[in-house]
Structure 1
């Protein structure tokens, strides 16, 4: 079946959106890596001084800190007290422990990334077996395929009514063949179409009429606004300050090279003093300045030196920009290379990071809806029906705060001793995973079963006979 005119128009519209996003992403990626170009700084530097360019890598520090504190630990169904094992099996079978981190970092840096959900196929192997070898089973519809996609390759259109995708497309190039081939996948509520670029036009390769009723693509968005649902980069407010700091650092590098050492002066020189004595050619300006000029046989030549320049003003201006970035981003000053006099206490650290923690919690709230929708679609693909329990699915997150281990353990012990929370809740507060909590419960149960005092108590209660004394048969 060939693409309809509406499908062609939709595909072209989404491709234009991807191309525009890709251009913006290149700039944001440069700021993340600390590789922004001189032109982006608005600073005219002569070619011979470009090696002095110094970049403040604060955007990358900001993004990495938010990303490192955003960790999903499980999914909980209504009326359950522990993470659902089947949902977590789908999550881990798709390698989303690591892949979700990549998607979250892209959402932080670029504003958005995407999850695509589909039925597993025979070409996609399942997760490694528990014994450590490759599992011989092949992925089936019981383990839906969930992948994380970049906004460099994918775009969506949202319904103005439901705010959910009504169409999506992915554009990518297969470089494993020569010549390389451009591909596209068009996602619609009831069908998915795979296309290939042939003769400067998109040709349909395959079409899957799945009748899901929803587009199996979920955006992971950071910083969405009512009028800007596509999200925005976390760098938006600090790019100008980062550029200003880079200009100050670059000027400081040049000043260090030229003014940190006392400047010298010369008087009474003639044009002959600026020529190479062997070749007679005029010396290059920088070679004359830094080298042979200071040795002259001219009796009229006089030399001297000025006092070295004080470069403390560059430290002052960079510290000022760091304070402004801290004020805008909420990052503690020590994260921006500004050391404090005394090391902070545990309470001081928590107070200092309060704005960062709140940003992470708000980001988690935005991700919750996306991950829950993705798992809802995955269960629909697995079971062939919509599970009403999934409407109340909850995500479990690791704490975004960074208290010390001793501090967290001490708080958990006090809460359990005062019977404010049960022991299992303390394990959650300490950051143990669902699998780890299950193993701990089994270990405690086995330990209690071996406890002789507990066995006697059960025997006295009439549950089991108490153990016989060790010398019961001695004597007669």
Structure 2
């Protein structure tokens, strides 16, 4: 067990790591939302046009981040040694609203390199633990030296109103702290700044206000927070999908800014008049007498598109319009590079579709499918540990051991038409694959498969003769995988005998 001083020191160290990560998290979130500063521009261009394009962004970062997340769908959890998905675990998943929240967690992992899942028991309902996906700007986990899986401690820090809160999770206990949320004011004296710093020190939260001890024991025996890394490496932090897109995104934004500027100034042929003085018109007084001359309003001539000049040496020259296609071509090349680097199909980015065969379209999405399947592996390890924590929170130690080596069931990451999928499943059934496996392969959740199996049994009980006839006749069956009887190589039973069978 840790002492108060040890717990406070650990909170401060983990908070420092959280603040260091916060810079990249803030930047990645801004790029995902389309808040891009104008980069790679010369000082002169930034001086005259920087503010003009401050709110503009051709946001490809969001497309790159969303493309794998839309294919990451959990359908169930299966413990080691079991053939069916765990129904109780799926009920916990549904009650906690994790169908939707898991998408937020996967998106946070893709954008910010990691996200977290927190599991804790509910004293009011011991059979229904509280499970939540957590933002990487609020959570951090400390691992055992030399390990990427064994967790020593975890911290969640957040702000609510005028207070900052922090919860430190250890394997044997949980500490809760709070402090006033103060914003530094540059006009404060050094003495008042010191007072603010003292007030901002973490203090244990009032046990009476919590209605529970502080610290309180951790009955699960393990740190109840799990990390979902986006792309792990052997040494160093996980890698965000957005981090590698930022440089090319900045280049695309600059090309658009230059294109808009060129279209504003040089998209039309420019004409110049040489050998002529600026035309003037008489200036009259109130009596109509000429008292001088005044220059002609050039803007009026531009609107009327007519101008007259006197003089024998007057000439008109012309500058050609700027070639704007050069910019659009460079933008398409940059978007193509971005697609290749992130394994995002070009039809997701460019938006040009030709009459592609279905096989060609599947081949074009191979990179995205493999990228998604990699994320299923990386996130699956954390989700499997989450399932174990749920079992521990429910007091099911045997199930927790089985789930530790179980697996996460995912929806197929590859997109296929219903006709193509049905044809493939029919061939697999002819090879002998069971109906339940085929239904899962089709994309049904384990709960939906159980419902379909019950419906099949109802149909069999309601009209067994028709169902058996369809099975023996080799037609599509809705009553299970009962093989037709072998009627011999020469002749089979007549219709009456078949129905009797």
Which bracket does the TM-score occupy, shorter chain normalised? 0.7 to 0.9
Instruction: State the partner residue of 1:277.
Output: none
SS in 2 for 1:442: helix
Does structure 1 residue 370 correspond to structure 2 residue 382?
yes
Contact 1:262 1:305 in 2 (8 A): yes
Q: Distance in 2 between matches of 1:335 and 1:290?
A: 48
> Matched residues in 1 for 2:163 and 2:279: separation?
64
Identify the residue that residue 330 of structure 2 maps to in structure 1. 317
| Contact map agreement 2:81 2:402 (CA 8 A) in 1 | no
Displacement of 1:46 in angstroms is 3.4
Per-residue deviation at 1:183? 1.0
- 1:105 and 1:271 map into 2 onto residues whose CA distance is 65
After superposition, what is the alpha-carbon deviation per residue over 1:290-340, rounded to whole angstroms, capped at 9, x for unaligned?
A: 978988898679766433222211122112112211221111221121525
- Counterpart position of 1:141: 126
* Superimposed CA distance per residue, residues 67-89 of structure 1 (whole angstroms, 9 cap, x where no aligned partner): 00111100012332221100101
Match of 1:252 among 237, 249, 259: 259
How far apart, CA to CA, are the structure 1 residues paired with 2:115 and 2:220?
Answer: 22
Change (3 A) 1:297 1:324: same
Find the counterpart in structure 1 of residue 286 from structure 2: none
- Once the two structures are superposed, residues 357-401 of structure 1 have per-residue CA deviations (whole angstroms, 9 ceiling, x without a partner) of 111111101111101111111211111645322232211000110
- Provide the residue aligned with 2:72 in structure 1: 70
1:238 pairs with 234, 239, 245, which one?
Answer: 245
Q: Deviations over 1:441-466 (max 9, x none)?
A: 11111111122526999xxxxxxxxx
Q: By how many angstroms is 1:418 displaced?
A: 3.4
Residue in 2 aligned with 1:158?
143
Distance 1:169 1:423 in 2: 46
List aligned pairs for 1:284-433, cutoff 5 A.
Answer: 305-337=318-350, 339-340=352-353, 342-383=354-395, 385=397, 387-419=400-432, 421-433=433-445
SS at match of 1:344: coil
Partner Cα separation in structure 1 for residue 336 and residue 301 of structure 2: 37
- Identify the residue that residue 45 of structure 1 maps to in structure 2: 46
Counterpart check, 1:105 vs 2:107: yes
Contact 1:399/1:431 (8 A) holds in 2: yes
- Answer with 1 or 2: which has the greater Rg: 2
In the alignment, the residues of structure 2 paired with residue 3 and residue 362 of structure 1 have an alpha-carbon distance, to the nearest angstrom, of: 41
Task: Give the 3-state SS of the residue equivalent to 1:356 in structure 2.
Answer: helix
2:173 alignment partner in structure 1:
191
Q: Is structure 2 residue 219 aligned with structure 1 residue 218?
A: no
Q: Residues of 2 paired with 1:256 and 1:384: CA distance?
A: 68
Kept in 2, the 8 Å contact 1:249–1:314? The answer is yes
State the 1:66 CA deviation.
Answer: 0.7
Change in 2 beyond 3 A, CA 1:14/1:293: farther
Q: 5 Å matches for 1:53-132?
A: 54-122=56-124
Secondary structure (helix, strand or coil) at the match of 1:250 reads: helix
Deviates more, 1:37-46 or 1:69-78: 37-46
- 1:49 Cα deviation from its structure 2 partner: 5.9
Q: After TM superposition, give the deviation of residue 4 of structure 1 in Å.
A: 2.7
Greater Cα offset, 12-21 or 109-118: 12-21
Deviations 1:87-129 (A, max 9, x none): 101111111111111011000001011111111244xxxxxxx
Q: Is the 8 A contact 1:58 1:242 kept in 2?
A: yes
CA distance in structure 2 between the aligned counterparts of 1:442 and 1:212, rounded to whole angstroms: 37
Please list every run of 5 or more consecutive structure 2 residues that lacks an aligned counterpart in the other structure.
181-198, 206-213, 282-297, 470-495, 497-501
1:35-85 superposed Cα distances (whole Å, 9 cap, x missing partner): 211258787423556434653322211110010011110001233222110
Question: In the superposition, relative to structure 1, how do residues 142 and 453 fare at CA in structure 2: closer, same or farther (>3 Å)?
Answer: same
Distance 1:372 1:414 in 2: 32
Match of 1:168 in 2: 154
Contact 2:109–2:230 under 8 Å retained in 1: yes
SS in 2 for 1:141: strand
Residues 407-430 of structure 1: CA deviation (Å, up to 9, x unaligned)? 1111111211332x1122211111
Determine helix, strand or coil for the equivalent of 2:127: coil
CA contact (8 A) 1:106 1:112 kept: yes
- The change in CA–CA distance for 1:251 and 1:194 in structure 2 (over 3 A counts) is same
Task: Tell me, yes or no, if the aligned pair for 1:75 and 1:395 is still in contact at 8 Å.
Answer: yes
Distance 1:42 1:73, change over 3 A: farther
